[in-house]
Structure 1
Amino acid sequence: MNPVRVLVVDDSATMRGLISASLADDPGIEVIGQASDPLEARQAIKALNPDVMTLDVEMPKMDGLEFLEKVMRLRPFPVVMVSSLTARGATATIRAMELGAVDCIGKPSIDHPNSFDDLPARVRAAAGARLQRPSLGRPGAVDELATYKPDGRIVAIGASTGGVEALISVIAGYPENCPPTVMTVHMPSPFTRSFARRLDGLTDAHVAEAEDGAPIEVGRVYLAPGSLTHLEVAGGAHPRCRLNSDEQVNGHRPSVDVMFDSTAKAFGSRAVGVILTGMGRDGAAGLLSMRRAGASTLGQNEASSVVYGMPKVAFEIGAVERQLAIGDMRAGILKLTSSGKS
């Protein structure tokens, strides 16, 4: 198999060197070029025809987002954003994912010195990604929302690579009285904080990063804080979010398996599990636990997945009751959690 050919774009020579060195440790990846700004990158793309590009957000001569938008319009191919772990960098990175970037990773910092550990794996996953814009919903979705009445079930959603666009597709059309929903996506902090704010602005429901002890209620969506804690749910008369800083599971913290397993134990058949696009197998075993506990389970289908990894494994082990295209996922979730016409 030919190595993944990568172009590294960053205005810092030091950062270009760090990225290149991290990728060079993987025999399945070849760094074929570097560029210090979008103008150099444009020429390198034409001359080298890379499989994947790593791209910084803030660069001279042309903003990284402006450059990404041009690339996706004129010569679309997989892009992994490499951004500073700041509020400004996180907000820009979420926007980049909406524009078509496949994945994001934070630059090393004092608090996150090993953030490049999984960069090679993310680049390899990006190389096999499908570049597509998911539909935000099928015709008739507005009419469905107008008659939606929750039946008390909780929804748990897991995603990884390609998950930003997928989750936007699902949550953007959520009604104000949406089913209580917990979500885990493989994304570093503070990207999850910015992503939660972005989702909150796209829906009538309330979306926020989960806090330990937060009551799980109708009309609210809780996103696991990135790179810091696992998100679990506790049942009983007053269901609540639980955060813990236990070791990584499947190489991730937060882990989708941890969230799904806790949902299976706390809610059993009173839950719906959903696994979306992403590399690896995190969430597959947990979703199977949910199905065995009586929960309804949905998986994103191959055709609409950016990376058909997590949902594929879940489907193959029997964890997925039904596969849906991402454009139909929101309607599928609301149908399963609806008590009927109000």
Structure 2
Amino acid sequence: MSVKKIKVLCVDDSALIRSVMTEIINSQADMTVVGTAADPLVARDLIKVTNPDVLTLDVEMPRMDGLEFLEKLMRLRPMPVVMVSSLTERGSEIALRALELGAIDFVTKPRLGVRDGLLNYTELIAGKIRTAASARLRPAATARPGGDAPQESLLRSPLLSTEKLIIIGASTGGTEAIREVLQPLPPDSPAVMIAQHMPAGFTRSFAQRLDGLCRITVKEAEHGERVLPGYAYIAPGGFHLSLARSGANYVAHLDQEPPVNRHRPSIDVLFDSAAKHAGKNAIGIILTGMGKDGAEGLLRMRRAGAHTLAQDEASCVVFGMPREAIALGAVDDVSPLAEVSRRVLTHLRTFGERANRV
């Protein structure tokens, strides 16, 4: 019995990139290139003819900008899209904007030796295409500075002691999920530590974008810095982020130890450190993503007394990581993405009221 192949349309103004992407995709038993296009206008016509399952899309092309095409596509004919982006500051900003518009993921073009570099990414590219083909499409985001205000009733009571921490792990679909969780948090929120699977060169732009949208301060974590309320710390691409202690203070620890669960940063590394150093003072949150990174770490957090949440299937782009955590018994609460912040604030308010009574 023949397996139905994932049909892929590759859009890139570089003939070399189109050729290499075709070679990579056609080498996989479960996918095939049904067409290539040098610009979005050609791609528009090919989509009607080939009806692809996944589109790979360059970010800078002639006749129509890739972002403009993506925005039109997600409005008129939504489909899974994997962006292909150069590793530059502007390229990272464009890639993040593409994720905001509804792209599932992105691939970083190598700067030198493009053919050999892309061929070295064969498994990565194929994996992202498979993930995109099975992902749940979501409406394009409408990110506004400040976002939706948290309910005032949740902010009237003291939220916490400074010992409280919010620990978040996410992968595919996570950039927008993290934004939705952070935007409603008040300026005096507990410190937030985040491991998002993202390559080096993109996390700084990601943090800067979130910082402009949130009430709390969002930044890339720096080794040895104090972890303070009102701040969110994002693991830099290529580094593990973990929680450590320096006397009475929480501090951020960065290292380049080998990948865990094939990832660096690894969510399990961050969650394990929170279980060890924060225990019941932590709230662990696992969001959308492929694979199982974070599931066992979240279980260890729960066993250490932390309150744990997982994003529900209906609101995930990819339900893999939350599913694994739920199956392990690592999760206290399964929540729609839109409810995660409210449930965290409610838990913190309840904790604060109990502490005041004592």
The TM-score range, normalised by the shorter chain, is over 0.9
**CA distance in 2: counterparts of 1:254 and 1:124, whole angstroms:** 22
2:165–2:190 CA contact under 8 A, matched in 1? yes
1:272–1:336 CA contact under 8 A, matched in 2? no
2:150–2:186 CA contact under 8 A, matched in 1? no
Could you say if the C-alpha distance between residues 3 and 176 of structure 1 is closer, same or farther in structure 2, counting changes exceeding 3 Å?
same
Q: Which amino acid aligns with 2:302?
A: R
Which residue in the other structure is 2:101 paired with?
99
Which residue in the other structure is 1:53 paired with?
55
Secondary structure at 1:59 match in 2: coil
2:88–2:201 CA contact under 8 A, matched in 1? yes
1:138–1:328 CA contact under 8 A, matched in 2? no
Shift in Å, 1:19: 2.2
**CA distance in 2: counterparts of 1:282 and 1:30, whole angstroms:** 29
Could you say if the C-alpha distance between residues 145 and 197 of structure 1 is closer, same or farther in structure 2, counting changes exceeding 3 Å?
farther
1:161 and 2:161 are equivalent in the alignment: no
Partner of residue 69 from structure 1, selected from 65, 68, 71: 71
Which is worse superposed, 105-114 or 188-197? Answer: 105-114
Could you say if the C-alpha distance between residues 262 and 51 of structure 1 is closer, same or farther in structure 2, counting changes exceeding 3 Å?
same
Shift in Å, 1:123: 0.9
**CA distance in 2: counterparts of 1:59 and 1:149, whole angstroms:** 52
Which residue in the other structure is 1:86 paired with?
88
2:147–2:214 CA contact under 8 A, matched in 1? no
User: Higher helix share goes to which structure?
Assistant: 2
Which residue in the other structure is 2:347 paired with?
336
1:179–1:337 CA contact under 8 A, matched in 2? no
Shift in Å, 1:202: 0.7
1:105–1:187 CA contact under 8 A, matched in 2? no
Which residue in the other structure is 1:294 paired with?
305
The normalised TM-score by structure 2 is 0.90
Partner of residue 186 from structure 1, selected from 197, 206, 214: 197
**CA distance in 2: counterparts of 1:140 and 1:107, whole angstroms:** 38
Which is worse superposed, 156-165 or 62-71? Answer: 156-165
Secondary structure at 1:15 match in 2: helix
Q: Return 5+ residue gaps in structure 2 as ranges.
A: none
2:286–2:322 CA contact under 8 A, matched in 1? yes
May I ask how many residue pairs the two structures share in their alignment?
341
Summarize deviations over 1:108-165 as a string: whole Å, max 9, x none.
Answer: 2359945554111111011111112379899873424643633131111011111111
Partner of residue 234 from structure 1, selected from 244, 248, 265: 244
Could you say if the C-alpha distance between residues 166 and 111 of structure 1 is closer, same or farther in structure 2, counting changes exceeding 3 Å?
farther
Could you say if the C-alpha distance between residues 116 and 215 of structure 1 is closer, same or farther in structure 2, counting changes exceeding 3 Å?
farther
Secondary structure at 2:249 match in 1: coil
Identity over the aligned pairs, expressed in percent?
Answer: 48
**CA distance in 2: counterparts of 1:144 and 1:306, whole angstroms:** 31
Q: Return 5+ residue gaps in structure 1 as ranges.
A: none
**CA distance in 2: counterparts of 1:217 and 1:224, whole angstroms:** 15
Partner of residue 318 from structure 1, selected from 329, 344, 354: 329
Q: Which amino acid aligns with 2:340?
A: M
Could you say if the C-alpha distance between residues 185 and 115 of structure 1 is closer, same or farther in structure 2, counting changes exceeding 3 Å?
farther
2:154–2:346 CA contact under 8 A, matched in 1? no
Shift in Å, 1:309: 0.5
Summarize deviations over 1:264-303 as a string: whole Å, max 9, x none.
Answer: 1111111011000011111111111111111110000001
**CA distance in 2: counterparts of 1:232 and 1:284, whole angstroms:** 16
**CA distance in 1: counterparts of 2:70 and 2:226, whole angstroms:** 39
Could you say if the C-alpha distance between residues 308 and 111 of structure 1 is closer, same or farther in structure 2, counting changes exceeding 3 Å?
farther
Shift in Å, 1:198: 0.8
Which residue in the other structure is 1:201 paired with?
212
**CA distance in 1: counterparts of 2:142 and 2:284, whole angstroms:** 21
Q: Which amino acid aligns with 1:11?
A: D
Could you say if the C-alpha distance between residues 108 and 149 of structure 1 is closer, same or farther in structure 2, counting changes exceeding 3 Å?
farther
Summarize deviations over 1:51-108 as a string: whole Å, max 9, x none.
Answer: 0001111111100000000000000010011100100000011111111111112112
Q: Which amino acid aligns with 1:5?
A: K
Secondary structure at 1:65 match in 2: helix
Secondary structure at 1:269 match in 2: helix
Q: Which entry has the higher C-alpha Rg, 1 or 2?
A: 2
